[in-house]
């Protein structure tokens, strides 16, 4: 069962994410808009809202999934697996504020997250982050799950990402 839960999390990561009303609210103050986006993305992904998930996914994530239609198909399958396996988000919090980075063309936001997932009595804690990207002239941010990105490969995703950035620690562990 733990292997199944890890597989589900891996599918979400491959599509660039991480249900609805059950998510814990931020303890102190209001959420920054990029944190609210990540919350919405997580709720959509685990709640089965495929179109919202696709809308928040950066084109790099869609490309890596084989295109928008392949990503949609994978998300529909994932939705059914979550439903049949009883996978739920117990809590989502933001352990530290987002970091904002700018290049000549884009803005980036690194948004740390701490998520607890459950499935039929099993629980998994995931410390991670999302990278938000605000493209020039874009109306909103799009995201890539940080579990796929590190200092060695970030330029494969975003050639203009500022060099020397220390990414937050990530882990997944059973509780």
pLDDT in tens, 27-48: 345 789 999 999 999 999 999 9
Whether 152 shows a pLDDT value over 80: the answer reads yes
- What pLDDT is stored for residue 174 in this prediction? 95
Q: Which two tokens stand for residue 114?
A: 């701490």
pLDDT in tens, 69-122: 999 999 999 999 999 989 999 999 999 999 999 988 899 999 999 999 999 889
End-to-end alpha carbon distance in the chain: 13
- What pLDDT is stored for residue 29 in this prediction? 52
Q: Which two tokens stand for residue 140?
A: 């909103």
Q: How far apart are CA 13 and CA 146, in angstroms?
A: 8
- What pLDDT is stored for residue 64 in this prediction? 87
- In sequence order, which ranges of the chain are alpha helices (DSSP H)? 2-14, 33-47, 50-56, 59-64, 68-85, 154-157
Whether 5 shows a pLDDT value over 60: the answer reads no
> Is residue 132 very low, low, confident or very high in pLDDT (cuts 50, 70, 90)?
very high
Query: Are 131 and 16 contacting, i.e. CB atoms less than 8 angstroms apart?
Result: no
Q: Which two tokens stand for residue 25?
A: 């609210």
Whether 17 shows a pLDDT value over 90: the answer reads no
Q: Which domains does the chain have, with CATH numbers?
A: 2-174 (3.10.450)
Average pLDDT over all residues of the chain? 85
Q: How far apart are CA 170 and CA 112, in angstroms?
A: 9
Distances (CA, A) of 117 to 13, 78, 110: 14, 15, 21
Contacts for 94-97: CB closer than 8 Å, 24+ residues apart? 94/26, 94/31, 94/35, 94/38, 95/127, 96/168, 97/32
Whether 3 shows a pLDDT value over 50: the answer reads no
pLDDT in tens, 43-64: 999 999 999 999 999 998 899 8
Q: How far apart are CA 61 and CA 72, in angstroms?
A: 12
């Amino acid at each position: 069962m733990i292997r199944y839960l890890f597989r589900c999390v891996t599918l979400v990561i491959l599509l660039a994410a991480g249900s609805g009303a059950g998510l814990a609210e931020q303890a102190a103050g209001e959420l920054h808009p990029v944190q609210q986006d990540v919350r919405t993305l997580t709720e959509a992904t685990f709640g089965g809202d495929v179109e919202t998930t696709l809308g928040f996914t950066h084109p790099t994530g869609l490309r890596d999934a084989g295109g928008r239609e392949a990503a949609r198909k994978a998300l529909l399958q994932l939705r059914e697996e979550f439903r049949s396996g009883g996978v739920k988000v117990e809590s989502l919090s933001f352990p530290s504020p987002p970091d904002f980075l700018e290049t000549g063309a884009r803005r980036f936001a690194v948004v740390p997250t701490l998520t607890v997932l459950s499935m039929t009595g099993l629980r998994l804690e995931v410390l991670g982050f999302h990278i938000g990207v605000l493209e020039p002239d874009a109306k909103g941010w799009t995201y890539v799950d940080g579990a796929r990105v590190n200092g060695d490969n970030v330029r494969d995703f975003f050639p203009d990402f500022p060099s020397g950035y220390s990414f937050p620690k990530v882990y997944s562990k059973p509780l």
